[in-house]
Amino acid sequence: MSRIVASRTCYPPHYYDQDQLIAAFRDVWGQRHFNVDRLEQFHRNVMVGGRHLALPLEKYAALKGFGDSNAAWLDAAVDLAENTVQSLLDSVDARPEEIQLLVSTTVTGIAVPSLEARLMNRIAFQTDTRRMPLFGLGCLGGAAGISRAAEYLRGHPDHAAILIALEFCSLTLQREDLSIANIVSSGLFGDGAAAVLLAGEKHRLYNSQGPAILDNASIFFPNTERVMGWDMVDTGFKVVLDSTVPEFAREHLRPGISAFLARHELTVADIGEWVAHPGGPKVIDAMEDGLEIGKGTLDLSRESLQKVGNLSSVSVLNILEETMQRKAHQAGDYGVLLAMGPAFCAEAILYRW
């Protein structure tokens, strides 16, 4: 067994409200889009109030292709990842040498050596620290990263692990793509990073107040590759985002979650707390409807979406942090952390306070 000790979220310093961003998109696409008012409607419908960006808004026009965008991603990513992980360690008075595994996840940039390796040159982790870079999981990455770390800690109960998730979605925007998927994405996704510290049951940090991870599950929906993901094109990451995502959440999520909980003789009704990746407003509504957990159960997901947008793999970790800090918990309470992402698939984690 392992325990979630702490979660911390950090953002790049460049924040813009949705009105500022809509004005910028009008300047870029206004001469080419057949209905610029429709563009604004798409951006309003996602219920995002503002977003952090990796770069100042005026610098995006100078990015001429994937090479420029990825170089900008790497320059900003290492600094933000370092700040996030250091903040996490400081928050629980943990030392880098107490960490035996670093997991990183991203789907908005490519780095070789990978992100967690570059962190080891910034923060004094031991040179024998194990590394696990995860790529391609998208919005699923935060939940899957916790799962993979927890699985490692079951076999190494005297170890501790850190997951770092970092997404600069703004640097994937395809300015020549006027598809609905790209326009919706341009109004929905934001930038940020989050880090989570987990400890095995024989590690000193296990004696924290965080929830213990009991089990995790992966749920795969066959032949759904075109529901969500990237097409790799000469200009970089071109979004694949099908309108059926809310339908999948409403119709297909509950059977897998119910089967997962049944392994522990639990039902959906036994779960008092849900930490869910927000997706978008329709996805949040669909999860509440499909799981039959009651309107308003996922209000922290709605709040995160409104404040900073969909942060891909980072969002569920941000909501985890807010849940740990703001909600009252009783010993023995059950919770589920949940995210969906490319494949199409879901990852669920059962925990108990």
Residues recognised as catalytic: 139
Kindly list the distances between the CA atom of residue 26 and the CA atoms of 36, 40, 46, 195, 281, in Å, as whole numbers in the listed order: 7, 8, 17, 35, 23
- For the chain, the maximum distance between any two Cα atoms, rounded to a whole number of angstroms, is 62
Strands (E), the chain: 2-10, 14-17, 50-53, 101-106, 130-135, 160-168, 191-200, 212-220, 228-233, 236-241, 273-276, 334-341, 345-352
Q: What angle (nearest 5°) sits at the alpha carbon of residue 268, between those of residues 265 and 272? A: 105
Q: Which two tokens stand for residue 50?
A: 């503002």
What is the C-alpha separation between 122 and 310, in angstroms, rounded? 28
**Amino acid at position 58, single letter:** E
The H helix count followed by the E strand count for the chain is: 10, 13
Please give the full DSSP string across 115-138, using - where no structure is assigned.
Answer: HHHHHTTTS---TT-EEEEEES-G
345 CB neighbour count, 10 Å cutoff: 22
Q: C-alpha dihedral over 176, 247, 344, 106, to 10 degrees? A: 60
What is the C-alpha separation between 268 and 287, in angstroms, rounded? 12
Side-chain half-sphere of 168: how many Cα atoms within 13 Å? Answer: 24
103 CB neighbour count, 10 Å cutoff: 26
SS3 55: coil
End-to-end, the C-alpha distance of the chain in Å comes to: 13
